[in-house]
Amino acid sequence: MEIRTTTPTDSAAPTPAAEIRRLNATAAAHDGIEPFSEQFLLGLDDGGDRQHRHATARTGTGELVGAAASDGSTIELAVAPEYRRDGVGTSLYGALSSGTDTVWAHGNLPPAVAWCRKQGLEPVRELLVMGVGGRNLAVAAESVEREGFHVMDLDSSRRRYGVDHVDGEWLRVNNEAFNWHPEQGGWDADRLARGQDTDWFDPAGVLLFWSGTDDCDDGGPAPELAGFHWTKWHGDDGAGRKIGEVYVVGLADGFRGRGLGGPLIASGLRHLAGRGADEVILYVETDNTVAVAAYERLGFDVRERHAAYGSPE
């Protein structure tokens, strides 16, 4: 079995993005869940912007049977079902690991858990996928108005208040809301631009929650952003159901504790329900108990569990 690593600047051995995507699909069909997350799949063909390193495993005939990706702190990997339990995953992990990485086990499936334990890794983080549909979605999406605030989508906001003001406020609120988060926090303008550079991005699905009245026509200043709800449209899930996602919800420091979470979430749910969503999902950290409880009150329940494993301290 040949193990090869590639870096963002390795033009002599480019990452075989199409083959890895097919491997991802094959593993998902077998396991019921994709082994690679969206950010790692995007890293296959972003020209090295995310600085991901990759490792691939091939048979003597050149067939791709395993792949792994690292962003410098976390690793994800996939092995073709018929080549598992032959040391392929361990070889891929060894090719990329620095010894301090965490490894994602999407779905936290028993074989993945057993493999992580065999590497001496312990769970250090858990991510829930929660979902709501049917009558519960309709109720959760009901309009909740708050005096002194108005909601506009991204394009409308940029036309009204200017791109620089809107994007600057969006970044500020994002980084205040996620100063603790390893992937979502600490963004700059380039990272925000990359977040919008996807096939599914729709500015109409980014709902911005502005504070104060809209008095720009009278010479007043552009308003302050209180929060945002960035939605994602998945579309048909293959079983005839249309799926939307609460992609990112953020509230500025100065607007917490004022009962704005409900209206902020409802604004995105209304948008997704208006597009015909049968179900809306979201990702939330297990230890974010306040958020989990809030989503449960809206009718969301747990659909999947994802866990990151790392070396015990």
Q: What is the pLDDT of residue 13?
A: 67
245 is in an annotated binding site: yes
Q: What is the pLDDT of residue 236?
A: 93
Q: What is the pLDDT of residue 146?
A: 82
Split at pLDDT 50, 70, 90, the class of 2 is confident
If you average pLDDT over residues 252-267, what whole number do you get?
Answer: 91
Domains of the chain: 2-120 (3.40.630.30), 130-305 (3.40.630.30)
190-238 pLDDT per residue, tens: 999 989 988 899 999 999 999 987 666 656 678 999 999 999 999 998 8
232 is in an annotated binding site: yes
111-152 pLDDT per residue, tens: 999 999 999 999 999 999 999 999 999 999 987 778 889 999
275 pLDDT higher than 90: yes
Give the helix ranges, DSSP H, for the chain: 17-31, 38-42, 88-96, 110-118, 134-140, 154-161, 163-177, 189-196, 261-274, 289-297
143-192 pLDDT per residue, tens: 777 888 999 999 999 999 999 999 999 999 999 999 988 888 999 999 99
99 pLDDT higher than 90: no
Q: Could you give the CA distance from residue 130 to residue 300 in angstroms, rounded to a whole number?
A: 6
Tell me which of 283 and 2 has the higher pLDDT.
Answer: 283
Q: What is the pLDDT of residue 162?
A: 94
The pTM of this model reads 0.83
251 is in an annotated binding site: yes
The secondary structure of 252-274, three-state, reads CHHHCCCCCHHHHHHHHHHHHHH
Q: What is the pLDDT of residue 23?
A: 97
10-62 pLDDT per residue, tens: 666 677 899 999 999 999 999 999 999 988 998 887 656 678 899 999 999 99
Give how far Cα 251 sits from Cα of 9, 60, 168, Å: 37, 53, 15
Q: What is the pLDDT of residue 269?
A: 96
249 is in an annotated binding site: yes
